[in-house]
Every structure is written in structure tokens, then in C-alpha cells.
A and B are shown apart, each in its own frame.
Chain A
Amino acid sequence: MIFGRKNRKPIAITDKKVVEWKYAVCGYCSTGCSIEVGLNVEGKPVASRGKGNAPVNQGKLCIKGIFEHELSGTAGRGTEPLMRNKIYDTFQPASWDAALDKTAEEFTRIQEKYGRDSVAVVSTGQLLTEEFYTLGKLVRGVLGTNNYDGNTTLCMASAVSGYKRSFGADGPPGCYDDFENTHCLMAFGSNLPEQHPIIYWRLKEALEKRKFPLIVVDPRVTMFAQFADIHLPITPGTDLVLLNALAHVILAEGLQDEAYIEAHCNGFEELKATVAKYDPVTASRICGIDADMIKNVARIYAKAPSAMSIWTMGINQSTHGTDGVCGINNLNLITGNIGVPGGTSLSITGQCNAMGTREWSSCSGLPGYRMLEKQEHRDEVAKFWGVDADFFPAKRGLQQTDIFPAIESGEIKALWIVATNPLTSMPNQPRIKKALEKLEFMVVQDGYKDCETVNFAHVYLPGALWGEKEGVQTNTERRVNLVRKFVEPPGQAKPDHWIFSELAKRFERGRAMTFPELSSDIFDEMKLLSKGDKRNLDISGMSHDLIEAQRGIQWPMREGEATGNPRLYSDGIFPTPNGKANLLAMAYIEDNEVPDESYPFWLNSGRVVEHFHTRTKTGKIGNLNKFSPTAYMEMNPDSAREQGVKHQSYVRLVSKRGDAIVMVQLTQRVPHNMVFIPMHYHDCVNRLSLGLLDPYSRQPAFKQCAVRIEQIDQKEAGRLNVERRAY
């Protein structure tokens, strides 16, 4: 000892006494990190660590993953089914039989009275893929309602629609390994370091090995924007204009990959004609990026030996979301950057298993990217399940964002919500609340009984959470990965696939079908259904054990193959009628709510790293929640001075929908005419948001609407703020 005691002081360092580590893929975002959860001798999860040799995260975890073992002990979990006759009654505990019988009876009664489609099902991106498949089987094969969708409509629907329009099918063509190969990366509306920190780390590692240009398009100066070589602070909602202008410059300067376009693309002439109207000067007046910068960026991107684009909600959550995705695909197609190492379009997905629901839940059609509109798909699935193909609806029904208006109009009388919290997550919350009051019957199935939507339910079914059941999830780069069960659900909470199977038994059609009990058996069933000629979504070579052994496998992995495939469309063949990708000619139409004299501020929203979605999980874990325990808004200090708004005081925001109370954080991160609010808080940003819908994906434009700022008594605001934070 240099200083201090001569005699040794004991050195005590926490030892969590882990006796076993269990394998799981993370249950928060869609990066797909492999986690090992440490159990102590009592079997209690006490530690989390990144799996050292996992291809995705290579031992790293973000803040949420680091504390994921604490999930099983979080407050507010449902431990028994609850029932009540009216939503103003108090919930009474019920047995599973009583709750499921009641649900089946009500669905039957309502379907008989108002028609099959009067019962709607809103699912999620949070379940395991086997559960999505089971739910799809139940809805398509047993309930037969066509009003069935997932909350993925709020996040990735535009990416899905865009992939389908450009390439003929959903599925991100690239992978994280492309960072190691690319020569230019352009990020649209993606705050990677905060939203997907592990993907950012992969990018950072690649950049430290070999520097390449990083271009970030974002109206806010995020850390990502700040670290970019070029930051384009775009006017909200005008990405399509920028993308058309980039294509304009590339074509005008002859920087395109003629051979690739010739061999693999449809619609080049139409594209050329449309983008001709978007010269950089015209575009600059709409999107707010100057003409020289547009030219500069177009040249850097087109001249790079390989270039890739990533995007997240900045593109998807827009009235031009799908067009934006197609514009990105256009950019990559005309520069030959699809299916090559370092050249790709890569949507960065939000929910742990948004990909799983897209692939297997039948929300947008039939399992395995099959479509209701294709007779051969209908026949194939009907035969496989043992149902009549005519029982399937002729075409896809309503999406989540259209289901609520259909409740308003009285078409839908019953709603089944599975593991999502629309009362917090849907735009225009006042409208959603009013709609939910009109329902004759609502079931909420969720791990948490304190999730706000439960307040409108007649029946509450307690679901098992991450690690309380076993199954697979698919990540952003199509990697199917496994969550092992390592802890029992609390009380009588049950895995969601058990709930689906048990409910199916209560219908005649359900009893005629088979619903396997074990998730590995369900997976085997999906494998059989995934096989087929030229099918990309093929998982027939995988098994739960092999997935764990390889720390996740990227589809397609066909039977007999040793492992998965990192990229799609490397052969230049696309799942379109003629095998070519579609270049899309898209004109920009100004249709947003934009700031005006009465509502002078853009309202932008997004995530913070410590929270996930509506905070039902992260709001209860102190070591996450403490970094932003209450709603706040970023505001520019210059406009704050004009408005008389002070740092760390409360203001009341008002839009044409409603109001919200937030604490103000003054920062030059946001422009003079914009405020930014994290999306996670109940009774906050979505009391204000409008959420105009994208015409293709029906995804709401969360990030573009207008608000004004009102002063509020600070004591009153503090009181309201506390009242609105149950967690």
C-alpha cells in the first residue's frame, strides 16, 4: 500500500454467485444480440452478459440488455386472468377456463351478430415467432376475421411496403457485415447510437479499421449526425424530394450503373422522367438542403465502389414512408448496390421480433410471406392446416391504424390486443380512447396488468415474458435466434402460444386443427411450410439447437445447408413476375400538417436509449428509468427566449388533437421551429400527434405535426406530471 493502512483491509467485490448461464436473444430491439442470463443457485436470474462469440454483438450489450435479467422481477406483472362486465367495473380474478370461455363466447356472439370481421385482432412485434405463427393459424384458420394486424404498422410497415414494391417481397437484403465492406454509408432518419447502440458499435468498429464517408440525414443534431462527415438537416417529411434529387444528379451526371439497371431493373424510363423534375435547386427549396450539398452527396454515394443506406423511423413514420423506402431502393438499384458486400438497403428494425411477425404471423396475408391474393398460396396453406381455402378472406383486411377508425364507425365491435399498448403508442390518443369506449368487448393479453390499455379491457390475460418461454425471433439482418426459457412466469401467467392454443380449442374449427404444444414442434411445422422452390424465407435447415450453436442463423437456410445466407438478391433475381426489381417513379405531394401561425412548431418524436416503447418494462427498472424518469422535450434556446420558456420548467403543448405537459430541456440540438419529445411516455406525445397515414403501408406520420407552446403554472404542472407517471 502506498497510502493507507499497514494492515490489509478486506477487498469485497460483489459476487452474484451465478451457477448457470442460459442462452437468449435479447427481447428489446431488433438488433438481435445474444445474451447469457446468469442464474444463481435458487434459479433466480441475477446477471446478464453479451455472448462472447455471437456474430451480432460479439459480447457487447446496450444498457437495456445489461439489465434484462431484472425483467422477471419487475412490478406490475399480471399473475392471474382478470374479468369484468363493464369497463367501469372493478376487475375480478378469474380462472383461465372462465376467462378463455368468456372470450370465446363473446367473440362467437359478436361474430354471429355482426359478421366475422367485427372482431379485430391487434398483435405485436414482441412475441416469439412460433407464437406469431400460432396466432396467425388461429386468426386465419379459426376466427376467420380479416381485421388482423400487428403494431408493426407503427414501425416497419413502410419498409415492408417499400421492399414489396421495389423487390417483390419483404425482407431486408443486407446485413451488419456490410459495414466491413462498404465505402459509403448514408443513414436516413436513424439515430443509430441511441436506437441501436450495438449496430452503431459494429459500424464504429468498421470505421476504426477503415474510414469511409458517413452521411446522416436527420432534422435533429443527434450524436450520429454530429459524428457524421456530412450531416443533412432536412425539413421533416421531405426525404422523397432529397432522394429524387440525388437520383436526378446521378442520372444527370451519368454516374449510374447502366449494366445493372439494364439487366435487373424495371421502370427506368419512368424514373428518369420523374426525377428529371427534381433538380437540386428545386429540391433544395423543399427539403432545405442546399443544391451544392445535394450534388456533393450524390457524387460521393454514386462513385463509392460500394455504398449502403440504412434507415429507421425518420423514413418509415411519414406520409411518404413507403415512397421514401422505394426512393432509397431506387438509389441503390441505379448504383448497383443491392446484394453486394457493402452495398444494400437495410432497414433497421425496432422491435425484437418485428421481423418474425412480418414473416410468420399471417397479419398481412398467410405465413411465410405468402399472400391471400395468390390462389396457390391459399391452397398451399389451407391444405397444410387442413382448412377450406375459401375460409380465408379474398384479400388483406384492415391494418392497425384502420382498425381504430373502424371501431369508431361501428364496423368492429370486439378487439383483442396482444402484447401492445396502443393507448400510449398510437397517434392521436384522444381519438383512440374514445374509440375503445365504444367496444362491446375487449381482451388485452399482456405481460403487464398495469399497461394503460388494460384500463379499457373486459378480460385481461396474463402472458409470459422474455425468458419465461422458449422460441425464436428474427432480427434486422434476417437472423433467426433463440430465447431459452430460464425462469417460470409469475403466478398463473402463461406463454402466449399456450393461450392461443387453448383459445383455439374453444372453437369447433380449432378443435379440427392441430396446435402443437411445444414451441420446437411449432418450429418444425413452420420449417415444413417454409420449404419451396425459389423461396427466400426458407428456414428448413434450422433447428432450435442448431440456432443456439451458431448464435443465430440468417435465412434463407435451406435443408442440407450448413448455415444461413448473409444477403438476398446477390444473383440479381428478384421475386417479381419478371425477376427484375422495380424502379419507382414517385412524385412528392405536400400533405403534412406543417407549422403555421397558430401552431408554429414542428413536433418531432423518437426514442431514447434507456427506454423501450411505452416503458411498461424499462419504466420499472431503476437503473434504466433514472436517466429519463419523466417526459421532457428538447427545445431550441433561441425560440425559448422568444417564448419566455425556461430550462427545466414545464410547458403545456397544444396541437389540434389535444395537449401535453412536458419539462423543457433547452438545447441547440433542435432547430428554431422544432421541438422533440421522446415517444415513450403515456399521456404525452401521442396526445398531440396527428399520424396521417402513408397510403401504402398505412403507417402513421408520427414525426410530423404542428404544436404551439403555452405557459402553465409550475406547481400544477408538477402535480400533473406525477399523476401521469404510474411507472
Chain B
Amino acid sequence: MWKVRDDEPGYAFLKESTAPAVNYYEAPIDLIARTGGSLPAGREMFINEEPGVGANPNRNKQHAFHFTADNCIGCHACEAACSEKNDNPAHISFRSVGYVEGGTYPDFKRMNISMACNHCDDPVCLKGCPTRAYTKHVEYGAVLQDPETCFGCGYCTWVCPYNAPQLDPIKGQVSKCNMCVDRLEVNLKPACVTACLGNALNFGVVDDLPDNREQGKLSIPGFPDPEITHPNIRFQQIKNMPDEVTRTDGMAVKYHKGDDGQYRPVVDQKKGVEKKWSLSKLNSRENPLVIFTLVSQASLGAFLIAFLGAQLGIDSLAAMRNSVMYVPLMALTVGLAGLGMLMSATHLGKPWRFYRGFNNLRHSPVCREGLGMLLYMVFAGVHLLAMLPANEVFIKVVGDWGHLNGFAAACGYLALMSGSVGLYYMYRCYRIPARPFWNHWQTATSFLGTAITLGSVLLGVVGIPTLIAFGGNVAQLFTIALGGIALGSMMEGLGLWFHAGAMDKANNEGSVSHYIQSTVFGKSYVLRNTVLAANVVIAISLIFVAPSVTTFGLALLLCLSALVTAIIGRTLFYVLVIPTTMPGAFFWKNKDFEEHARDIGLANMPQVGVVAHAH
């Protein structure tokens, strides 16, 4: 138990609660009631394995921060007190202070915002976490995370709108604000609140205003839409801010006051209007995910067309299945799926704990994606094995074991089903409200389109030479492959068209991503779009031209072009996303400065607080 000092100052103690029965969202503040009484009050928390129930009379009520934005002086005392208590290294901070500012000298206003975890009513981190490292407790409503369970996928850092979970690239795990539940148990406010020097940060039962405060607003300028998670933070901001406030960090976002008085993100053209290539910036820490999604989708697409086409009795595809090359083709798809799984594991902070990725099937799309793709790989693998006895080479070398065609087909259908589930949840993983650029149906058309395009490429590259060598309807397969490329590319293109339009008008961080897409990556973006359109045109044209060496040659180039388009498109997808994070400061929590510090070598000094080479 935390020890209360003999001379503990009065401001450090939580006040008596006069909170209403329900919070702003009409949810019961009493957390036992929120569970429908399925859990008892007065349970031990076993903080650091110590037994005992804290003396806090409100320990089963939802607690929340209260932030008087008018008062914050940006002195970092809250951040420091937090890091001191939790013994965090310089590059990790459970609480961060950033700011927005506006006006013209001397009519200038800066508003500092101190933000940690908001222990949300709807904890998207908890729901997203594949390992079930998170728990929302009936004690204080604290959302606590166990770093030892975490395998460092970082998905919680994607879904949290407040940048609360901290992924430590050195330790390869996430940790976050623990609400100082050890202090709460003895009736003390959290360390950050107790340390506040501007009388800005406070804490207590949610929707129970602190003494001397009159407002419990849901939002202030720079704060993400509270509807995403129903965060447990309330604000007082009585002093007016200018109609437009800017961020000092590199994020090309500013906030504009709407007719309803709420501030919404709009594009701040910090990166100018010049269109650039920025090809080297396409290289990011999400590279393994670029490979994972592309190869998994290519594998799925190829499997889908090859297997289903043959099942449906399509001439050329049946010939392909009956050929000696079917097993190698299947081996290729299973191999690609395996490569994908490997890539997604290397993306983890602790890859050897990959098996924990299936622990939260109830909530996490990451789990379902992983399980779907794993089962796809397994069933496709079994399908391959079941097809082996029919393979001529196998028969020649090993002998005739008889056919298992029925079993193989059953496995094939199972693979298709689990693959579809995997692909669907792969898409669901990216429907993140805190990442508006991804949160659009275009992600689905992109994933499915890529599957069809790259699947067709794969099938064409393996199948056409096979049919030429062993006989079969080459022209039909050629048409199918080209048609697939055309169809997939059209799906992708259609999605991108609507996506660009939606992002352009979105008035959220998605618009900012689109702005970056059209400027910093403008030339790469235009190139991808042009080539994508060209791919469609060329693919369709080639269908109507008689197969010849020239057309095969052109088709081969088309395949290459489709692959390059997919790679540029997918890398853009990852580097462009801008989360709804809190505003940063000039150095701290400024991604542009972090990048610069790495570039010039300043990050090699650990006291700069920037990890030199991110995971």
C-alpha cells in the first residue's frame, strides 16, 4: 500500500463525492451497477501482489481527470511527477503536455493541454488488444494494462485517440498510465494531479466538479471527438481562444471554431503546396505490414481464383489444377501466406510471443484477422497435401497412393472461408475512428482489389507457362488473368477516387493525410494513380488482342507494373495515416523533430528523449 505521509498536504486528498448517479453518457457511475451486479464491491486489487482493500469510500465509482485549460502553465510538473513515480525513461511518458496557440502579438493566446489515459467507458485499446493485456476494473474504472502480457504489436497505440498507450521500441512492449490506483486506494489523488502548479489538473469521481470549478465540458480545442471512446476527462475552459488555433509540432493540422463553438481539425499547409516524390519517406517502421498485407492478399487471390475456378469447371483452371504445376502453385500461395504471418510477427516488439495474438477473439479484429489467416494457411496447406497424391511427379517418385480429391476440395473450401474471414478482419483492423484516413470503405476495395490483382498476376505468371508447356486453354487463362488485373485495379481505383473525395471534404485528420498525399508525396501519388489507370486500360486492351510473344511480353510488364503500383499504394497507405493525437510541443511529441533528431544524430544522446533507431 502507498504510504500517506504525516504531513500530506490537504490538496493531495480526494474530496468527498457528490457525483450524480449517472455520467454524461447516462452510464451508471457506480461500476458495480455497470456490471449488472455480476461483480462484488470491496474486492482486493492486489497491487504489487499486496493484499488488502483500500479505504477509499468511492473506489467502485468511475473516476476521471478534470482539466482547467484556462490555468495550465505548461510547466511539465505533471509529466515529471508521473515519470518520477513510474520510473519512466526519457523517451516514454504516460502524460504529455502539448499546446495550441493563436492570435497576433500581443493579442496572443496559448493553451496548454495535459493529457494521459482517459480510462474510457469504451476502451478501444482494450477491445483492440489481441493479447488481452488490458482490463477495465470496477475499482475506479481504471483501464490497466499489463506490460508483461503485451507482445508489442502496437495496435492499442493505433486505436487510442489520445496517444495514451506508449510503445517502447527498446523494450518492445506497451505501458501506460495506471491512474495511480495505489494512491487512490489510500484516498490520494494521482501523482500528476498532486504535482500540478497551475491548479489546472484535478481528479475525482466523474462528473463531480472539483471545488471552485464551474464547468465539466467534454472537449476543448485540440481534443479528439469524445464520441469515439467516451473518455473519462472533463474540462473547464471559460476564457475564449482565437477562432483558429495552430499546433507547433509538425502535424499539418490546425483547429477551426465551427458555428457550434466546437473546434474541428482542418488542414494547415505546413508542408507547402509543392508536389514531391519523397520516395525515401515511403520506407517506414510499418514495412513488415506492407509485406504482410500484400503477400497475404496475393496468396488469397491466387488461391481463390485457382481453386474456385477449377471447382467451377473453368477449362483452363481445371487444366491448371490437373497439371503437375498445381502443387507448386499451391505451395507458392501457402508459402506467401506463411511469409505474411512471419512478417506480421516480426512487426511485434516481442515476436516470440506471437501465440498470444489469439487471446481476444471476443473483441479484437487483430485476433480474428490473425486466426483467419492462420487457418487459411493451414487449410490451404492441407489442401496442397491432399492434392499431392494426384500429382504426376509424386506418382512417379513415390507411387500411386490414390486420390483424395473430395477431401482436398473440402479443405479448399475451408481455406477459402477462413481466408475470407481473415481478409475481412484485416480490413476491419483499419476501420479505426482515431485514424480517419483508414476509416473508409476504400480500405476494403484496396485489400480485395489487391487480392484479385496480385492473385491474377501470380496465377498468370505460373499458369500460362504451365498451360503452354503441358497444353490447355492458354487464351482463356490469359483472359482470366488480365481480367483479374483489370477488375482488381478498377476496384482499387474506384475506392481511391471516392476516398480522395471524402478525405478532401472530411474536416478531420483524414483531410490532412490527403493534403500530405497530394503534396509531400504528390508525385508518387500521381504516378501510382496514373499507372493504376494505365494498368486497367492495358489489361483490357490486351484481352482483345490475339496472344503472341509481344502480348505476353506486354502482359509481363503489366504484371510488374501492377506489383509496383500495389507496393507504392500500400506504403502510402501506412505512411499517410494521421491519428487524432493530441497536439504536441515544439520538441516533445513532435514527430518532425524526432525524425530530424535521428537524421542529424542528436538522438544518439539518450537525454534527448528520442530513440535513435525505432524498432
Contact = CB atoms under 8 A, between A and B. Distances in A.
Interface of A: 1-5, 8-16, 47-48, 51-53, 58-63, 66-67, 193-194, 197-198, 200-201, 204-205, 208, 221, 223, 225-227, 231, 233, 609-610, 619-630, 632, 636, 638, 647-648, 665, 667-672, 718-719, 721-722, 725, 727
Contacts of B112: 223
Contact of A52 (B7, B102, B108, B144): B7
Nearest to B89: A622
6 residue pairs, one from A and one from B, having the closest CB atoms = A622-B90, A626-B609, A52-B7, A4-B135, A193-B73, A718-B600
A727 to B, nearest CB: 7
24 contacts: A1-B138, A2-B138, A2-B141, A3-B136, A4-B135, A59-B194, A62-B75, A63-B79, A67-B80, A197-B197, A223-B112, A225-B106, A226-B108, A622-B90, A623-B83, A625-B90, A626-B610, A627-B76, A632-B587, A638-B104, A647-B270, A648-B596, A668-B102, A727-B607
A200 to B, nearest CB: 7
B491 interface: no
Given A13-B181, A719-B600, 4 more contacts: A10-B148, A15-B48, A63-B76, A718-B596
Nearest to A632: B586
Contacts of A66: 77, 80-81, 84, 195
Pick from B81, B110, B586, B606 the residue with the most CB of A within 10 Å.
B586
Contacts of A4: 126, 132, 134-136
Contacts of B81: 66
B108 A669 contact: yes
A193 B75 contact: yes
B249 to A, nearest CB: 9
Given A622-B609, A669-B105, A2 B31 contact: yes
- Chain B interface residue number, banded: 35 or more
Nearest to A672: B105
- Identify the interface centre among A10, A13, A205: most chain B CB within 10 Å of its CB: A13
B9 A58 contact: yes
Contacts of A62: 75, 77, 197
Contact of B8 (A59, A648, A722): A59
Contact of B597 (A14, A47, A226, A629): A629
B105 A620 contact: no
B101 interface: yes
A667 B132 contact: no
Contacts of A225: 106
Contacts of B80: 63, 66-67, 623-624
B109 interface: yes
Contacts of B7: 51-53, 59
A318 to B, nearest CB: 20
B314 to A, nearest CB: 48
Contact of B588 (A194, A627, A671): A627
A666 to B, nearest CB: 8
A208 B196 CA distance: 14
Interface string B201-245: 000000000001000000000000000000000000000000000
B593 interface: yes
Interface in B339-396: 363
Contacts of A630: 587, 602, 608
A11 B108 contact: no
A205 B607 contact: no
Contacts of B141: 2
Interface in B583-615: 585-588, 590, 592-593, 596-597, 599-602, 605-610
Interface stretch (B39-47, B151-159, B278-286, B555-563): B39-47
B270 A609 contact: no
Taking each of B34, B141, B596, which has the highest tally of chain A beta carbons within 10 Å of its own beta carbon? B596
- Please classify the interface of chain B as helix (H, G, I), strand (E, B), loop, or mixed, using the class held by over half of its residues: loop
A620 B585 CA distance: 20
Q: Which of B110, B270, B587 has the most CB of A within 10 A?
A: B587
A382 to B, nearest CB: 45
Contact of B47 (A11, A621, A628, A632): A11
A192 B67 CA distance: 21
A649 B195 CA distance: 34
B133 interface: yes
A52 to B, nearest CB: 3
Nearest to A226: B109
Contacts of A8: 46
B151 to A, nearest CB: 14
A626 B588 contact: yes
B315 interface: no
Contacts of A204: 71, 197-199
B509 interface: no
Contacts of B45: 11
A599 B504 CA distance: 44
B146 A10 contact: yes
A668 to B, nearest CB: 4
Contacts of A201: 197-199
Nearest to A74: B607
A226 B585 CA distance: 18
B199 A665 contact: no
Interface string B79-109: 1110111111111000000000111111011
A669 B144 CA distance: 39
A4 B180 CA distance: 19
A4 B83 CA distance: 26
B81 to A, nearest CB: 6
Nearest to B183: A13
A725 B605 contact: yes
B449 interface: no
A290 to B, nearest CB: 12
B149 interface: yes
A61 B593 contact: no
A28 to B, nearest CB: 13
Nearest to A669: B108
B110 A223 contact: yes
B260 interface: no
Contacts of B144: 9, 11
